[in-house]
Amino acid sequence: MAALTPPAGTAAQPARQPARQPSVRRRRPRLWRGAVALIAVLYFLGPMLASVIFTVDVPGQGFTLDSYSGILGAEGFGSSLRLTLELAAATIAVTMLLLVPALVAVRLTAPRLRVLVEVLCSLPLVVPAVALTAGISSVLQWGPDDFADTPLFETFNTIQNPSFPVVLLLAYVLMALPLAYRTLDAGLRGLDLGTLVEAARNCGASWPRAVVQVVLPNLRGALLNTGFLTLALVLGEYTVASILGYQPFAVWIVSIGGSDAQMSVSVSVLSLVLTWVLLLLLAAAGRGPSARTPRASRGARTTFGARGARTRPAAPAPTVQEKS
């Protein structure tokens, strides 16, 4: 048999060599990662561990938990904590009611006003807390000086009621605006807001219903983060409340430190642990239930294509009959 030769004009191609697989390099453990983690642990947990040792190790008595057991019976603990939680809940509600409709309306109807809203919400970062409190005190002095014979005098007295100081609530809302705006704006950027609202409106939903039932469920993570940041701000705020003469939880901790330092430190440790627990709970709630693929959808993958269109079987190729 004659040897098979390639046609003229074509050179014999060499045999294909199998592709070399890239060599997998073993990753060596990097010591700097462990060093950074160790420094972070010492930085965050070191002061807290020292505080715990200070509260349980009493000179002359040894190990004791009297500083923790006496917290609930301490004078002013229940009233200060209740006032702080009430202020925190009201601050979160007012901040949400102000920002969520405003940001949704700006994104849908007036996108050019986004820069103006951002600047207005960021102004409290520029004004120090002491300067803000000095301005609030000057405004509150208008009541007895200029409005003593008018109905507004009672309004000035009402907003300064020690049982629930509305003036402190307004100050907290101003201080929470920058944090809340950044969190909610990041959440809205991840949504196709126009498409969601337009689809809800086409289904017959009103504007409030579209925001409550369509927009808010998609902003669950951003809303939870905003609530947590606002709660942490109210729990730890001291300057405004102390200058205005009120005693929420942070001011009570400082005031009790003059008479019982160990109890003051123990309350601080418990408040820090409570804040961490709330952060973990909000993080778990923000993830939501894991999406599981039902069996029906698994079976549907075999009959539906990648884009959801039903795949049809290929038609048989036409046969050509030979002429006899």
pLDDT value for 96: 92
Of 186, 53, 172, which is closest to residue 118 (Cα–Cα)? Answer: 186
Summarize pLDDT for 147-164 with one digit per residue, the tens.
777 777 888 888 888 889
Nearest CA to 193 out of 174, 214, 213 is that of 214
242 and 251 in contact (C-beta within 8 Å)? yes
| Mean pLDDT score, 35-45 | 86
Residue type, 113: L
Is it the case that residue 10 has pLDDT exceeding 60? Answer: no
Per-residue model confidence (pLDDT) at position 291: 40
Instruction: Report which DSSP code applies to 214.
Output: I
Strand 57-58 and strand 62-63: pairing? antiparallel
pLDDT in tens, 120-137: 999 988 888 889 898 888
Residue 304, pLDDT score: 38
Q: What b/e string do you get for 23-34 counting C-beta neighbours within 10 Å, with b at 16 or more?
A: eeeeeeeeeeee
Q: Of residues 83 and 145, which shows the higher confidence score?
A: 83
- Rank 21-30, 92-101, 305-314 by mean pLDDT and report only the highest: 92-101
Q: What percent of the chain has pLDDT over 70?
A: 79
Predicted pLDDT at 98: 92
| pLDDT beyond 60 at 312 | no
Note the pLDDT tens digit of each residue in 75-121: 888 888 899 999 999 999 999 999 999 999 898 888 888 899 999 99
**C-alpha distances in angstroms, 158 versus 32, 76, 132, 151, 242?**
58, 22, 20, 11, 19
> Is the model's pLDDT at 310 over the cut of 50?
no
Q: What is the pLDDT of residues 175-189, one digit of tens each?
A: 999 999 999 998 888
